Amino acid sequence: MAMHKISVTVNGAAREAEVESRLLLVHLLREVFRMTGTHVGCDTSHCGACTVILDGNPVKSCTLLAVQADGCKITTVEGLEQGGKLHPVQEGFTEKHGLQCGFCTPGMMLSSVALLERNKNPSEQEIREAIAGNLCRCTGYVNIIKAVQYAAEKMR
Amino acid sequence: MIPAPFDYHRPSSLDEAIGLLTKHGEQAKVLSGGMSLLPTLKLRLGSFAHLVDINRIPGLDGIKEEGGALRIGAMTRQAALERSELIRKKYPILADAVPLIADPLVRNRGTVGGNVANGDPANDQPAIMIALGATLVARGPKGERTIAANKFYTGLYETALARDEILTEIRIPVPPAKSGGAYQKLKRKTGDFAVAAVAVQMTLDARGAVASCGMALTNAGPTPLEAAEAAKFLTGKTPDAKTIAEAAKMAAAKCNPSADHRGSVEYKKDMARVLAARALQTAFERAGRG
């Protein structure tokens, strides 16, 4: 079985691992690094619960090999809080009741963070489009959008 | 879900990648964006002993006009196409289509080359490349060759690419003045494939009649479907509601979709007719402004 030595930067920290070719990025994060904030939802590239930010772009970590992330910078939900202070997007989800069961929340927040890094003042339509790859089965989209708008205002 | 075991290769040049494909033959598969390949491996609908990852090969991505052609590198991500000012300004057919492909997370990884070379008739860019009269550039052990997009698709998931060839670039003729295109797609939800979709690229002459027209349909049979008769029927005419309706009917008549959870054969063919009329009308209006 082919093994590969990889190094990645996860939430600013350099990490190394020896991985099988077929190991998925989401399993590297959850099972090797024990960072379980990144969720596995559908496991079929539909739901976006496994979203992480890879070199600035939100991607589905269940549809990427860990070895493909070699040398890359990864942000997971664990990396949003800085020095005990919530990221404005996290604060928005809290203030605006942007979650019910919370399962989609890490992915929703990472897609939102990536959007706000690219677009400081997104319209409601732009927010809807940015989270189109993340499914909320509680269907709490209205408050998710309010949460992102809250964060956008806070970050301006 | 975990894919069956395989060896992973990350060549740093095209020659090295082609060497790996030559060496491992049927056992090897090119990994581009992986948005179709990884789900296939995870669901174990397919398996390959060797994956050849072309993501780190320099020079395979980019969007530029050069020598009368829009050149799109095969590794160009869909998201890059979506954000391109050039595409937005001059290639409305692509500007229409890209935001309708999969979802934003998938478009951050998925590539134009992968979409074109995968041979899935449900992919959107094959029909678009046929409508645009694109040329596909492939590299293999014997060097480079070009294949017309409308000669590329030979069957369900089968293309003119040999096992040891890699699609490197797509070349689209820069549209002359008075050109316009459109892509019309019906899908049930974000991330779904098309119930039906139609790509049209049109150029008008000085009188406002159709000088040339390219037209093709997505998910209308085992391969992307070129609607050459409908396009020919329109050539020389100034499109009005009646001629557009007639051309749309001709295009839909050629469809051979299969019934599935997206609808019956009759429904899909009728949607193809409706979308064809809309795509023709929009392309015509845009060409008039162009």
CA distance A132 to chain B (A): 6
Contact B13, B56 (CB under 8 A): no
How many Cβ atoms are within 10 Å of A51's Cβ, its own excluded? 32
| Domain hosting residue B242, numbered range | 179-289
Give the C-alpha separation, B42 to B44, whole Å. Answer: 5
The string of pLDDT tens digits covering residues B238-271 is 999 999 999 999 999 999 999 999 999 999 999 9
pLDDT at residue A121, rounded to an integer: 97
Contact B286, B180 (CB under 8 A): yes
Calculate mean pLDDT across residues B76-104.
98
A128 alpha-carbon distance from chain centroid: 16
CA distance B39 to chain A (A): 6
Question: CATH for A3-79?
Answer: 3.10.20.30
Residue found under tokens 């732009």: A126
What is the per-residue burial (b if ≥16 Cβ within 10 Å, else e) of A122-138?
beeeebebbbbbbbbee
Strand order in the sheet with B143-148: B63-66, B69-73, B166-173, B135-140, B143-148
Q: Average pLDDT, whole number, for chain A?
A: 97
CATH number at residue B11: 3.30.43.10
Q: Average pLDDT, whole number, for chain B?
A: 97
Domain ranges of chain A: 3-79, 88-155
A52 alpha-carbon distance from chain centroid: 3
Tell me the chain B residues in contact with residue A57 when contact means C-beta distances shorter than 8 Å: 79, 108-109
Q: How confident is the model at residue B70 (pLDDT cuts 50, 70, 90)?
A: very high
Q: How confident is the model at residue B83 (pLDDT cuts 50, 70, 90)?
A: very high
The domain A88-155 is placed in CATH, from the list 1.10.150.120, 1.10.1740.10, 2.60.40.10, 1.10.1040.10, at 1.10.150.120
Q: Which among B3, B10, B39 has CB closest to A45? A: B39
Tell me the chain B residues in contact with residue A134 when contact means C-beta distances shorter than 8 Å: 105
| SS3 category, B289 | helix
The string of pLDDT tens digits covering residues B201-232 is 999 999 999 999 999 999 999 999 999 999 99
The string of pLDDT tens digits covering residues A113-147 is 999 999 999 999 999 999 999 999 999 999 999 99
Counting residues of chain B whose pLDDT is more than 90, the rounded percentage is 99
Q: Give the domain-ending residue among B142, B173, B204.
A: B173
Judge if B125 and B200 occupy the same domain.
Answer: no
The string of pLDDT tens digits covering residues A64-92 is 999 999 999 999 999 999 999 999 999 99
Calculate mean pLDDT across residues B96-111.
98
pLDDT at residue A1, rounded to an integer: 59
CA distance A21 to chain B (A): 6
Judge if B101 and B33 occupy the same domain.
Answer: no
At residue B84, does pLDDT exceed 80? yes
Choose among A119, A127, A117, A113: nearest CA to A79: A113
Host H or E run for residue B9? strand B7-9
User: In sequence order, what are the beta bridge partners of B75?
Assistant: none
Q: Which among A57, A62, A133 has CB closest to B103? A: A133
**pTM of structure:** 0.97
Q: Residue B72: phi, psi to the nearest 5?
A: -115, 115
Q: What is the tally of structural domains in chain B?
A: 3
